[in-house]
Structure 1
Amino acid sequence: MSKLARIAGQHGNRMVVAGCALNTIADLLGCDGVEHHLSAQQVNGLHHAVKALAGLIQIAGFELCEHAEQEGKH
């Protein structure tokens, strides 16, 4: 298995989990049509969770692009 394929698989798995997490956060913020009555602390936690997930996805994208570019040069 190539290095790119291994990295793509790892990041793919992480991105699937991040997508599930973002769907849950969206539901907690009201996308599911249910009012969840979140406390200020819970909303703050959700803000941090979204920021962390965004960073994870951004880093994964950058790394995948970098390795794809390197693979294309070989």
Structure 2
Amino acid sequence: MSPLARIATEHGNRLIGASLALITIADLLGTDSAEHHLNSDHIDGLQHAAKVIAEVVKNSGYDLCEKAEQASEGAQ
């Protein structure tokens, strides 16, 4: 497996994990039409979880773009 393919796979797995976590958060906030009786501590935890997930996705995107640019420059 090429270095770029390995990095793409690693980031793809992170993004899949982030999407599953976001689906869970969305369901807890009511998209699943169930009532979850969240208290303020739960809401606070969900807010922090969403922020961390956003950081993971952002960092993966930046890293993947950087590696793709490096691979492109190396191919020229």
How much identity, in percent, do the aligned residues show? 53
Moved over 2 A (4+): none
Render the CA deviation track for 1:26-64: whole Å, top value 9, x for unaligned: 000011111211010011000000000000000000000
Give TM-score, length-normalised by structure 1. 0.95
CA distance in 2, matches of 1:66, 1:32: 37
CA distance in 2, matches of 1:3, 1:66: 13
Q: How many residues align?
A: 74
Structure 1: gaps of 5 or more residues? none
Residues 1-74 of structure 1: pairs in structure 2 closer than 5 A: 1-74=1-74
Give TM-score, length-normalised by structure 2. 0.93
Structure 2: gaps of 5 or more residues? none
Matching residue's letter, 2:66:
E
